Amino acid sequence: MINIVKELKCRTHPHVLGGLDILRNIGPGLLVTVGFIDPGNWASNFAAGSEYGYTLLWVVTLSTIMLIALQHNVAHLGIVTGLCLSEAAVKYSPRWVGRPIVITAVLSSISTSLAEILGGAIALQMLFGIPIVWGSILTVAAVLILLFTNSYKKIERAIIFFVSMIGLSFIYELFLVDTDWVEATRCAFVPSIPQGSLLIVMSVLGAVVMPHNLFLHSEVVQSREINKHGDERIRQMLKYEFADTLFSMLVGWAINSAMILLAATTFYSQGTHVEELGQAQAMLQPLLGNNAATIFAVALLLAGISSTITSGMAAGSIFAGLFGESYNAHDTHSVVGILISLGVSLVIIFTISDPFQGLIYSQMALSIQLPFTVFLQVSLTSSKKVMGKYANRPLNTIFLYSLAAIVTLLNIALFIESL
């Protein structure tokens, strides 16, 4: 989705990591950050804050730590090998392991697209009274036109700017409401799982650490073909990439946390549970006044469109990788991947009676697939056959596998709770 800046010319002399150079190389991380303010993410955060107050802030902190580690790790794969995660899985993993996991990643992209399309449809309903089904069709049609004509590149900066401003507005509003910062800080770092909250915990986790974004991040990075410019250029870009990832993920953490805090202040303190996205516009009223509802709906529409483009690109990249190909909106395999993700999502939306709950469950589904993607990714980045001297160090491998184990245990706990 992000229009990646042109590569810096390869240097043959040692180079200090400068601020301007970092800014020139920022891009893939921001692509992931767009997912932080997508409709599914909004719904999960609003539900967490309105139902449990500050209690689930720790999930955002844990998710962000996981995201920094995993996105940085998968970017290494793309930089060093020149392959995206899907391509590498097919090339280096046993056929009975790599391909099934990649196929489940396609399914996770469907779950993501479902949330993004629903968000766009809900926004159209708020703005013009268009029914959800017809709003979904219009959203998909707009996204397909933007993807297959590449015209999204002409408006992407405006969309990202506007949606980011709304996200930053949530942060700014924290200074306009009565927030218990001591309690908020404690909840941000002390885990607590209230009775019946696991569904929301997993939806918040899945809304932040999205499997399709791991595939897409590696695709965007590998498209720069850094591996063809020698070891010095690879080492240099690994440093730039970490700066990009760290900055982008911290911005996302702040926006996610602000959403939960504002939902807690606006709804939880009043004993009101958010049951539809339209209610959340009330959080912007202290800053935007009577225009809050309209601006919220426009931001939601743009967030839905931009994140649907991203999920479509991810699906195209994942599916093309099954055939050893990179993403290309004009290539048959990429097109099929896009159409599968958006088309199946649209069919599922026709059967959904409660759009808000549909958003929540779609994000929870992402957390179920996540461990499979992480175990696959870490096995590849820890392999000297794949990464050579850039393979993960033993302690790093243990840490990354432990992240997958945490998500697995939470999934098991959710399954037990649902029995």
Residue 327: the pLDDT is 86
20-418 homologous superfamily: Amino acid/polyamine transporter I (1.20.1740.10)
pTM as predicted: 0.82
Tell me what pLDDT residue 216 has.
83
How far is it, in rounded angstroms, from Cα 114 to Cα 363?
A: 10
Q: Write down the residue that tokens 């991203």 correspond to.
A: 310
Write out pLDDT tens, residues 127-150: 999 999 999 999 999 999 988 887
Q: Is the pLDDT of residue 39 over 60?
A: yes
**How high is the pLDDT of residue 29?**
55
Q: What are the tens digits of pLDDT across the range 198-238?
A: 889 998 888 788 888 888 878 877 655 555 555 666 666 66
**Residue 238: CB atoms within 10 Å:** 16
Residue 266, pLDDT > 80, answer: yes
pLDDT tens across 353-391, in order?
A: 888 888 888 888 888 899 999 999 999 999 999 999 889
The mean of the pLDDT values for the chain is 82
What does the pLDDT look like over 81-96, one tens digit per residue?
888 899 999 999 998 8
Dihedral class, residue 9 (left if φ above 0, else alpha if ψ from -120 to 50, else beta):
beta
Domain assignments of the chain as residue spans, ordered by start: 20-418
Of the two residues 233 and 416, the one the predictor is more confident about is 416
Lowest average pLDDT, out of 102-106, 310-314, 316-320, goes to 310-314
Amino acid identity, residue 168? L
pLDDT at 56 over 50: yes
Q: Is pLDDT at 290 greater than 80 in this prediction?
A: no
Predicted local distance difference test score (pLDDT) of residue 147:
86
Closest alpha carbon to 381 in 44, 77, 57, 66: 77
What's residue 381's pLDDT? Answer: 95
User: What confidence tier does 414 reach under pLDDT thresholds 50, 70, 90?
Assistant: confident
- Please say if the pLDDT value at position 303 is more than 50: yes
* pLDDT value, residue 103: 93
Pick the more confident residue, 293 or 126: 126
For residue range 61-76, list pLDDT tens digits in order.
999 999 889 988 998 8
- The pLDDT assigned to 101 comes to 93
Taking 70 as the threshold, does the pLDDT of residue 36 lie above it? no
The whole-number pLDDT of residue 234 equals 67
Can you read off the two tokens belonging to residue 331? 């290539």
Q: What is the pLDDT of residue 151?
A: 59
Is residue 363 within 8 A of residue 43, CB to CB? The reply is yes
Average pLDDT over residues 326-345: 92
Element containing residue 77 per DSSP (H, E):
helix 57-81
Higher pLDDT, 157 or 135: 135
Tell me which residue of 255, 288, 303, 338 sits closest to 60, measured CA to CA. 255
Residues contacting 76, CB < 8 A, separation 6+: 238, 241, 381, 387, 390
What's residue 374's pLDDT? 93
Instruction: Tell me, rounded to whole angstroms, the distance of Cα 165 from its chain centroid.
Output: 18
Predicted local confidence at residue 5, as pLDDT: 35
Q: Which structure tokens are listed for 312?
A: 């479509």
Query: Which residues are CB-neighbours of 285 under 8 A, at least 6 positions away?
Result: 292
Quote the pLDDT of residue 294.
82
Listing DSSP states for 358-402 in one string gives: HHHHHHHHHHHHHHHHHHHHHHHHT-HHHHGGGSPPHHHHHHHHH
Query: From CA 239, how far away is CA 16, in angstroms rounded?
Result: 10
- Strands, E assignment, 218-273: none
